[in-house]
Amino acid sequence: MTPSMDLGRLRADFPILERRIRGRPLVYLDSAATSQKPQAVIDALVDCYRNYNANVHRGVYSISEEATEKYEGARDKVQGLIGAAKRESIVFVRSTTEAINLVAYSWGRQNIGPGDEILLTEMEHHSNLVPWQILAAEKGAVLRHLSVSEEGTLDLDEARRLITERTKLVGVAHMSNVLGTINPVKELGRLAHQAGAVMLVDGAQSVPHLPVDVRDLDCDFLAASGHKMLGPTGIGFLYGKTELLESMPPFMGGGDMISQVWLDHASYNDLPWKFEAGTPNFADAIGLGVAVDYLQAIGMDVIREHEKQLTAYALGTLGELPDVQVHGPRDIDIRGGAVSFCLGDVHPHDLAQVLDQEGVCIRAGHHCCHPLMRKLGVSATARASFYLYNTENEVDVLVSSLDKARAMFGQFGPAGN
């Protein structure tokens, strides 16, 4: 049996949850966009800037060595979280977006040519679409896309048809930020490797919410963002198999990514520093390491179980509201806590503004997924997304606020009529 967590004690670790909005308790349901931060992460940032703020790798004095030790220690923590075999396979970047662009720029420009195919899906975030569109246009490559079913899932049979000897890369979101779908990336990776292709996993939504083991998935690349997993903004990481990273040219040139520099040429540093040009964002990396400590202390399996229960409760209660259409799978075993929905013909932006009056924070818009919105036949959706600090009571507040919104817009009768 999966152990449970003390939710009341856990929520006390997040100072922002004590806020009141217009006299009402803050109900934060937008963790798919960015998560809140525990006091331990906030304290780690303050401690860094107050007590050992110094550039890493370059100083031989005490506080520089302390900063370097903690910065590289954060890399070890990320390695442990995702089960990577080697610490040098973890490259610090600003975000999932930068990580995917790094792969497209460095690996893609070296390995993709005219007529080669890149297979993505209809549910990808723009961060895993646009870099490949740019690359395909530059190299004369072809983009293919796995379709999304009415249930919000991918079809492995279609994948078997589309992955051929022409396929060079398969890039898939592990968990959809709109549908909550947990995609079968391990199976897709196996198909990719059978065809000689490389597998990239967008882990922005999965790494914060469920156990992820890159060796079990056997993915070639995995990208994630720190701010979605209790860490600071402006820090993320790329995991890559070391043999691939070794073969790739640098993403940017500058200090620290070099070994020796002459006036007309240079040699490059070892992994992972070859891809970390300039002064790194060491303070936020250290904060990310503390966030990883926090997640590990709870247990990713415990977090996943809590979110499954909360999402099941939310799907059930939202399903009782008239005129609410929820998108994504109903099978809780293959979905995460991002729940997108529409309320009649009320625009999601209007709905979000009304809910804000109740202290409820939800997302409204296209969620950086224009093609998926077109597939769903909508211009935008409202989205409530849950994390380890959310409660069933907050779901109840969401539902009651939606009922108030229905009455305010005057298009529907009260719930139950």
Tell me the catalytic residues: 368
Question: Which spans in 140-241 are helix H?
Answer: 156-162, 185-194, 214-217
Environment class of 101 (CB within 10 Å of its CB; exposed 0-12, middle 13-18, buried 19+): buried
Amino acid, single-letter form, for residue 354:
V
Nearest Cα neighbor of 325 from 241, 382, 390 is 382
Distance of CA 49 to CAs 73, 151, 283, Å? 17, 48, 8
Helix ranges (H only) for 30-153 are 39-51, 62-82, 96-102, 109-111, 130-139
Cα dihedral sign, 288-292-295-298: negative
Q: How far apart are CA 235 and CA 228, in angstroms?
A: 10
DSSP designation for 89: G
Do 285 and 309 form a contact (C-beta atoms < 8 A)?
Answer: no
Q: What is the maximum alpha-carbon separation in the chain?
A: 78
CA-CA distance, 310 to 398, in Å (whole number)? 13
Of the candidates 221, 133, 121, 217, the one whose C-alpha atom is nearest the C-alpha of residue 178 is 121
